[in-house]
Amino acid sequence: SEEMVEQARAKFGDRVDQVFVADMRELPTCGEFDFVTCIDDALNYLLSDGDLVAAFQGVADVLAPGGVYAFDVNSLKTYRTAFAQTFVREDEGGLFCWRGEAAPTFEPGGSAGATIEMFIEQRPDTWQRVTGRHVQRHHQQAVIVDALDAAGLECAAVVGQWPGGLLDDIMDEAAPIKRVYFPRAATNARQTAGAE
């Protein structure tokens, strides 16, 4: 977001040209990296296989040979539970309401929506209402592996993520809340493209 970029620029003023907003499907060339992360839901918002391939290709283009990419996607459990319920949380200075639109029988590869409403106290007896709608897609493992292959990335490992960030080897779509992937670049994507 522009707001986060402004905070980063204020903190790292000597590197302002290295901090920018970009669409992950059209990632500009910005150097070569040994490790790239995309954690906490970003890829869930890509709604087509083509978008997934484009995002992975952008990362492949900036990974050094042997570089690792770490990303997560929601599991079926998340769409069948969190996206299938409504809940409200209130704390000092605010109220958060989540209205999921999916069903407990959500199908693999489907899209799910949710509406978020926040009421934020501005001063006593004055509240600001902020509303947002989120649409995400469940990306099946075979689709992800195919998209990684198309981008020239090799899937080295996949693990399940449980609440609290705990990772383990149990990768059952009905148990962990997320799947975390660790693909790597076997060769530099630019070298591979130049050889063809």
Percentage of the chain with pLDDT > 70? 95
pLDDT digits (tens, 9 = 90+) for 151-188: 999 999 999 999 999 999 977 888 899 999 999 998 64
Contacts 24+ apart (CB under 8 A), 142-151: 143/49, 143/52, 143/109, 144/52, 144/73, 144/181, 146/49, 147/49, 147/52, 147/53, 147/56, 148/56, 148/181, 148/183, 150/53, 150/56, 150/57, 151/53, 151/56, 151/57, 151/59, 151/60, 151/189
pLDDT digits (tens, 9 = 90+) for 30-77: 889 999 999 999 999 999 999 999 999 999 999 999 999 999 999 999
